[in-house]
A and B are shown apart, each in its own frame.
Chain A
Amino acid sequence: MSAPDTREPLVRARNVHKAFESLEVLKGIDLDVMPGEVVVILGPSGSGKSTFLRCINHLEAIGRGSIMVGGEQIGYRMKDGRLVRLSANAIARQRRRIGMVFQQFNLYPHMTVLQNIIEAPVGVHGESRASAVENAKRLLARVGLSEKIDSYPRQLSGGQQQRVAIARALAIRPDLMLFDEPTSALDPELVGEVLNTMRDLARQGLTMIVVTHEIGFAREAADRVVFMDDGVIVEQGTPDAVLGNPQHPRTKAFLARFL
């Protein structure tokens, strides 16, 4: 990479471990993500990619290690030199600037597109309805779905739903966006429209952590590619380095499947 970066990382994960019962899923993950950086996480299914993303916004509690986002430790705080667990409402507050886009879109089916987008800004962030609506219209224009503003999610195609889900996540003005396989549930011809939207966001300097199997997207849009397998980071570096000249045999084996 280029000259040493002196800024603080936006995300700092240290020695993150996570187990479900006796199944160890994350076995010591260290990862720093700089502001404005786009990190793509690759790896075989079951390697713990989704679990790691979900730990970053504390949808899963980690078993060991620490995760800092924007200088705050997620799920905990220091008090009199001791680490104490945060209450559910305090954790909810920490999540307010972290946007998330899910594989299954997870739009609220009983709300229109507009209601989906303004729900968190109005209900969680206390933005006025008028300004939230205005922002929603701007975001819908940006993802190219202005005319769908009053539709219900089930009236949209998968690609359209995912673009609405992206607009919904952007509406909270996130400092960090997490994408968990955003195109994996889409028909092949709909993948492009969603990746285009994400490429735009990457260009505009949004900090993004993207779990995907779209090698092409990783090559073009990522600042860094991280390859995970079996709960550890096996290899990371620039797209050219990791995708063009992988060092580790497991990375080579994984990438060979996409050639």
Chain B
Amino acid sequence: MSTQQAIDASPSGDASVRDVVNAHTPFRYDRLILWVALGALLANFGWIVANNENFEWPVVGRYFFDPTVMQGLYVSLGLTVVAMVLGIALGLVLAVARMSTDRLASTLSAWFIWFFRGTPLLVQLIFWYNLSTLFPVLSISIPFGPTLASWDTNSVITPMTAAIAGLALNEAAYMAEIIRGGLLSVDRGQSETAEAFGMTRARALWRVIIPQAMRSIVPPTGNQLISMIKATSLVSVIAMADLLYSVQSIYNRTFEIIPMLMVAVIWYLLITSILNVGQGYIERYYSRGDRRTGKDGPAEKPTNTTMAEEATH
């Protein structure tokens, strides 16, 4: 009863007090305490790590820009970019094939995805690398008919091509499912409208469906990219000198294992941080039609849990 009166109180008396422009947010002491406690904890941890002789920070500093490390970083980044670009392109083809009404295309695509998601990446890499023991000669021929062209497998499958093939084909299988999920998330009415306006299916995909699907494709693709950077460290088993391989080659000589691993860890973290920032920009770009004001609104926070499958590699 009394609260009701307060709300209904005469406009002349309360109006300015009730005006929400005069409202203030109560100070949250509990949050402050948590922040301070967490800050102290982190500072303390940082202090301990920084002053722990066993980390040998001077060694970390000395090798951080070492040419061998730089070369390894270059290989890791290069492999990531090439495998990711090929993986996304092939993944798009697989996703479209999987969704097409053509039974042949959708079946082939489903098998590809089943196989490359269903076997460990490490095993796939080793298979590609050892392809020559399985098939000493690669050839193009008519099935059960004459051979048109052939190559010695060892000259085609270098560690580099084995690494690219292994990473890209595996990535394509995961990207296919991410892209398919994105395409399915777009309202049916959109492709129907594009169709009604006489667009071909390819054009409708490119101009209407994919730009809208990007909103749900980008966050899990960010995950994939970060996984990929770390997955490139697997290629050290097939003698590719990536970042991890190069720091290993140094500590095998100097036995400074922990500081050299710290060099790699810091590089990996630096790269992923840059990627996170980039992802934020891309997400804002693809949500442009969503802003009611047309001005920069608060960007949506990327959700790193969008992916159904985690730890893909």
**Chain A residues packing against B (C-beta within 8 Å):** 57, 59, 88-89, 92-96, 98, 100, 102, 104, 106, 108-111, 119-120, 123-124, 150-155, 172
Q: Is the CB of B289 within 8 A of A92?
A: no
* Nearest-neighbor residue (CB-CB) of A125 within chain B: B198
Contact (Cβ within 8 A) B198 A96: yes
Q: Is the CB of B103 closer than 8 A to any CB of chain A?
A: no
Indicate whether A120 sits within 8 Å of B286 (C-beta atoms), given known contacts A59-B192, A108-B190.
no
Residues on B with beta carbons closer than 8 Å to the beta carbon of A89: 200
Q: 3 tightest A-B contacts by CB?
A: A96-B198, A95-B198, A106-B193
A155-B212 CB under 8 A given contacts A111-B289, A119-B207: no
Which parts of B195-240 form the interface with A (CB within 8 Å)?
195-201, 203, 207-208, 211-212
Q: Which of B193, B199, B286 contacts A123 (CB 8 A)?
A: B199
Chain A, Cβ-Cβ closest to B199: A124
Give the docked Cα–Cα distance between A124 and B201 (Å). Answer: 12
Report A101 CB to chain B, min CB distance, Å.
10
Chain B contact residues, CB within 8 Å of chain A: 187, 189-190, 192-193, 195-201, 203, 207-208, 211-212, 286, 288-294
**Residue in A closest to B287 when the chains form the complex, CB atoms:** A110
Which residue of the partner chain, among B289, B292, B293, contacts A110 with CB atoms under 8 Å? B289
Are A108 and B208 in touch, CB under 8 angstroms? yes
Taking the closest CB of chain A, its distance from the CB of B205, in whole angstroms, is 13
A100 to B196, CA, bound (A): 7
A102 touching B199, Cβ below 8 Å: no
Would you give 6 A-B contacts (Cβ < 8 Å), ordered by A? A94-B198, A96-B197, A100-B196, A106-B189, A111-B289, A154-B292
B292 pairs with A155, CB closer than 8 A? yes
Are B292 and A88 closer than 8 Å at their CB atoms?
A: no
Contact across chains for A59 and B198 when beta carbons are under 8 A apart = no
Determine the distance from Cα of A19 to Cα of B34 in the docked complex, in whole angstroms: 64
Are A155 and B294 interface neighbours, CB within 8 A?
A: yes
Which chain B residues border A98 with CB–CB below 8 Å? 196
Find B289's partner among A57, A95, A154 (CB 8 Å cutoff): A154
Query: B195–A59 contact, CB under 8 A?
Result: yes
A93 to B200 CA separation, bound complex (whole angstroms): 9
Inter-chain contact A106/B192, CB cutoff 8 Å: yes
Partner of A124, one of B189, B198, B290, B292: B198
Separation of A94 and B289 alpha carbons in the complex (Å): 31
14 additional A-B pairs beyond A88-B201, A124-B203, A154-B292, beta carbons within 8 Å, are A57-B196, A92-B195, A96-B197, A96-B198, A98-B196, A100-B196, A102-B193, A106-B190, A109-B289, A110-B286, A123-B203, A124-B197, A154-B290, A155-B292
Given A106-B189, A110-B211, A119-B207, do A59 and B290 touch, yes or no (CB 8 Å)?
no
B211 CB, min distance to chain A CBs, angstroms? 5
Complex CA gap A110/B292 in Å reads 12
Question: Which of B189, B201, B203, B290 has a CB less than 8 Å from the CB of A102?
Answer: B189
- Residue pair B212, A109 in contact (C-beta under 8 Å): yes
Write out the residue numbers on chain B whose beta carbons fall within 8 Å of the beta carbon of A123. 199, 203, 207
How far, in angstroms, from A123 to B286 measured CA to CA in the complex? 21
- Residues of B contacting A152 in the complex (Cβ-Cβ under 8 angstroms): 288-291, 294
Q: A152-B288, A152-B289, A153-B289 are in contact. Are A92 and B189 (CB under 8 A)?
A: no
Measured CB to CB, the nearest residue on chain A to B192 is A59
Q: How far is the CA of A59 from the CA of B290 in the complex (A)?
A: 28
Q: Complex: how many Å from CA A30 to CA B208?
A: 35
Measured CB to CB, the nearest residue on chain A to B291 is: A152
Select from chain A the residue with minimum beta-carbon distance to B201: A88
Residues of B within 8 A of A59 (CB): 192, 195-196
Residues of B within 8 A of A124 (CB): 197-199, 203
Residues on A with C-beta less than 8 A from B193 are 100, 102, 106, 108
Minimum CB–CB distance from A84 to chain B (whole Å) comes to: 19
Determine the residue in chain B with the shortest Cβ distance to A103. Answer: B189
Task: Report the Cα distance A176→B100, complex, angstroms.
Answer: 30
User: B293 contacts which chain A residues (CB < 8 A)?
Assistant: 155
- When chains A and B are docked, how far (Å) is the Cα of A155 from the Cα of B291? 8
Rounded to whole Å, the gap between the CB of B118 and the closest CB of chain A is 33
Greatest chain B CB density within 10 A among A59, A100, A110, A152 is at A110
State the Cβ distance, A59 to closest chain B Cβ, in Å: 6
Chain A nearest CB from B302 CB (Å) reads 19
Q: Say yes or no: A88 contacts B290, CB within 8 Å.
A: no
In angstroms, Cα B208 to Cα A123, docked, is: 12
Complex alpha-carbon distance, A106 and B212, angstroms: 13
In the assembled complex, the CB of A210 is this many whole angstroms from the nearest CB of chain B, namely: 16
For B200, list chain A residues within 8 Å (CB).
88-89, 92
**Alpha-carbon gap, A151 to B290, bound state (A):** 11
Q: Closest residue of chain A to B187, judged by CB?
A: A106
- Write out the residue numbers on chain A whose beta carbons fall within 8 Å of the beta carbon of B292: 154-155
Give the shortest distance, in Å, between A182 (CB) and chain B (any CB).
Answer: 14
Contact B189 A95, beta carbon cutoff 8 Å = no
Task: Please give, as numbers and ranges, the residues of chain A lying within 8 Å of B288 by CB-CB distance.
Answer: 110, 152
